[in-house]
């Protein structure tokens, strides 16, 4: 499958005017990003919408698949919410691969409050749909 990235990804695309504009770092076997939700990201007053938390958990896991030099899509994902994510505080999201086979990658991800408490955690399985071009990062800017 051929990929042509247009920088409009809702989670990380730098050309998407309403996107989250996430940036990622790799630390050992983990991919990390931070996000500070604002009022427009609310579900209940003062609390980040769970669907947006899920979106970021999904995206940070997708980046872990990219580290393998692969493109993948979410086949399934289970999310457990443990704590409310308050608006206006920086939240750290991280993921890691728990098992990788030829066409399937299993992952876990967590969202951490500034206190270090886990606010949400996810388990997912991604299907590999292609290899990344040599020397090219996914979602290259």
R_g of the chain computed on alpha carbons = 15
Structural domain includes residue 47:
yes
**Is residue 20 included in any domain, yes or no?**
no
Residue 141 lies in a domain: no
Instruction: Look at residue 13 and tell me if it is in a domain.
Output: no
- Tell me whether residue 1 is in a domain: no
When divided into structural domains, the chain yields a total of: 1
Q: Is residue 12 part of a domain?
A: no
List the CATH number of the domain containing 51.
3.10.129.10
* Within a domain: 98: yes
Evaluate whether 94 touches 31 at the Cβ level (below 8 Å): yes
Flag whether 138 is in a domain.
Answer: no
pLDDT in tens, the chain (141 residues): 445 556 888 888 888 899 888 999 999 999 999 999 999 999 999 999 999 999 999 999 999 999 999 999 999 999 999 999 999 999 999 999 999 999 999 999 999 999 999 999 999 999 999 998 765 555 443
**Strand order across the beta sheet in which 30-35 lies:** 25-27, 30-35, 91-100, 104-112, 118-131, 70-81
User: Does pTM top 0.75 for this prediction?
Assistant: yes
47: domain range? Answer: 25-131
């Amino acid at each position: 499958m051929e990929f042509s990235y247009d920088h409009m990804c809702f989670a990380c695309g730098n050309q998407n005017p309403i996107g989250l504009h996430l940036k990622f770092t790799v630390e050992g076997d983990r991919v990390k990003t931070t996000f500070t939700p604002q009022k427009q990201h609310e579900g209940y007053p003062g609390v980040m919408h769970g669907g947006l938390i899920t979106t970021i958990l999904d995206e940070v896991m997708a980046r872990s698949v990219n580290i393998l030099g692969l493109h993948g899509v979410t086949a399934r994902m289970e999310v457990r919410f443990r704590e409310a994510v308050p608006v206006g505080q920086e939240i750290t999201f991280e993921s890691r691969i728990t098992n990788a086979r030829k066409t399937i990658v299993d992952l876990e991800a967590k969202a951490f409050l500034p206190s270090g408490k886990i606010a949400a955690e996810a388990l997912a399985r991604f299907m590999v749909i292609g290899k990344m071009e040599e020397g090219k990062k996914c979602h290259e800017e």
